[in-house]
Amino acid sequence: MGGRKVMTAKEVREKKPEFIIESAVKGMLPKGRLSRQIYSNLHVYAGPEHPHAAQKPELAN
């Protein structure tokens, strides 16, 4: 009953790979109302596919 639930980085990477980046960015933001507004603009995708047509990423050789 109760207790702290701990997941390793490997488990998190398999289940929710975008969570690692989201939590790192959220921790760097200042705390408060403005932080929540800024954080809502963050979009992290697990793979190379994304719905943003204006961005054309190129593979580095």
Reported as a pLDDT band with limits 50, 70 and 90, residue 61 is: confident
Whether this prediction's pTM lies above 0.85 is answered by no
The predicted-structure confidence for 10-56, as pLDDT tens digits, reads as follows 999 999 999 999 999 999 999 999 999 999 999 999 888 888 777 67
Q: Where are the domains of the chain?
A: 9-39
C-alpha distances (whole Å) from 42 to each of 8, 22, 32, 50 are: 24, 8, 16, 13
DSSP 5-56: ----HHHHHHH-HHHHHHHHHHHHSPSSHHHHHHHTT----SSS--S-TT--
What does the pLDDT read at residue 59? 80
* Rounded Cα–Cα distance for residues 19 and 44 (Å): 9
Under a CB-based contact definition with an 8 Å cutoff, are residues 29 and 35 in contact? yes
